[in-house]
Amino acid sequence: MNKESSYLPGRTALIMAFFLSFSACKKSAITDLAPADNFKQTQVDAATGSGSDVMMQAFYWDVPQGGWWNTLNDKIPAWKAAGIGAIWLPPATKAQGGATSMGYDPYDYFDFGSYNQMGTKPTRFGDSTSLGKLIATAHNNSIKVYADIVLNHCSGGTLEANPYTSTSTYTKFTPLSGKFQRTYNDFHPNDIEAADEGAFAGFPDLCHKKANVSNWIYNASYSMSKFYKNSLHFDGFRFDYVKGYGAWVVKNFVNSVGGPAAVFAVGEEWDGNAANLQNWVDATEQTSSAFDFACFYAMNSAFDKNDLTRLNDDMLLKRNAAKAVTFVSNHDTDITTNKYSAYAYIMTHEGYPCVFYKDYENLLDKNRMNNLIWIHKNLAGGTTTNLYSAADQYIDRRNGYGTLPGLIVYFNGSDNWQQQWVTSNWGGKKIKEYTGASNWEPTVAADGRVLIQVPPHAYSIWSVTGL
């Protein structure tokens, strides 16, 4: 991400002309949003993440029990119209908590609501039939479906004598699917390894170096990876708590079903250090993306702690945009209050933005969210140049790529309207503001200079007219 100083000229005749021409313009509220039902096909730039889809995290913690797959199925057409290109589902298999579980305590990796175990036949979200219907509906609407995969630990086993601990442990798993039976030999400690990268909450910790484990997860023809992709037709995978096991596990899982060209993958490497995120992606040999926690924490500091210069912080999207999944909140953490500005940031910058179900469906204005999704898919292309950076104002320019014209996004952390002269890439062209925050439509000077404005504690997004 390169930087360019903003252009702040004196009181020249050109400036006066601009001010006179703008003085009659009304500073409107955020209304008259860009349409959400007329999306263009855009070129994808792998180097910057330009033109990427928008993902929906299609759940939140403790969703209603019994019919979640059906709830999502009914929302698919509207999400398609809004520009959502993929949905991330919660762990869909039977867990120790049965009908109450959110799936992160996995018991039977092949029971999607078909076997009566853990006190229930369906999972919290529904049965295998309703899951299959959801996936089919999504695909019929050109929406990809990503499965949440929990590979660090298991839960719900019965007691057995464990020679490696000299105690009895809950490590005997005999799932009714008859698949991936486990004993103490498949967990830590065992005869080849005392521990791996990390355990979680005292749950039995899978040993991925054991043949029984690796065969059932990705190696064998009957493995989870192949069943999930080839039989259930998942298009990608979100890997939970990847700090708990080696990145090579994710690499092998992805490669077992065709590699990054065939499936999408993203890991939950919960780390606010962008270098550590990049190191994890590198350790997967670029087979997986990572959630950009560095961006997540920088946005919290910028928008909630009133220091927009924190948007200059190092982020995965600035190091490796094609492998950065950006987000504002999720089922585990929700620390940002100024969510509209945060969503405006991830929708105008590189990376693969993820929208949180509860934000989109329950907490925020859906029209404003759809507007930002439209902007991401139709305007936000190319590399980023910083035009202005201060605690109370921040301006970035996306430089455009292919059919995407680029944009200028202006954030304001003050109590007053602000305006700045900036240098655009649209010399001689007419531009407008695409969120409804301003109805100025200036003509850019031949050298690219133009005056733009932004409301208090908000954002404005500018690009060429006629789109």
Residues annotated within a binding site for Ca(2+): 152, 392
Of 8, 27, 22, nearest in space to 393 by CA: 8
Q: Whose structure tokens read 């934000």? A: 359
Phi (first) and psi of residue 126, to 5 degrees: 140, -165
Compute CA distances 111 → 46, 87, 92, 178, whole Å.
36, 21, 8, 10
How do the residues of the chain divide into helix, strand and coil, expressed in percent and rounded to 5?
30, 25, 50
The first and second tokens of residue 276, run together, are 């550590």
Q: Point out the catalytic residue in the list 268, 271, 350, 359.
A: 268
**Distance from C-alpha of 375 to C-alpha of 403, rounded to nearest angstrom:** 13
Of 181, 156, 190, 152, nearest in space to 170 by CA: 156
DSSP assignment string, 289-350: EEE-HHHHHHHIIIIITT-GGGGGS--HHHH-GGGEEEES--SS----S-HHHHHHHHHHSS
Compute CA distances 317 → 46, 157, 249, whole Å.
12, 40, 24
Active site residue 240: yes
Q: Point out the catalytic residue in the list 240, 271, 359, 433.
A: 240
Could you give the residue numbers annotated as active site? 240, 268
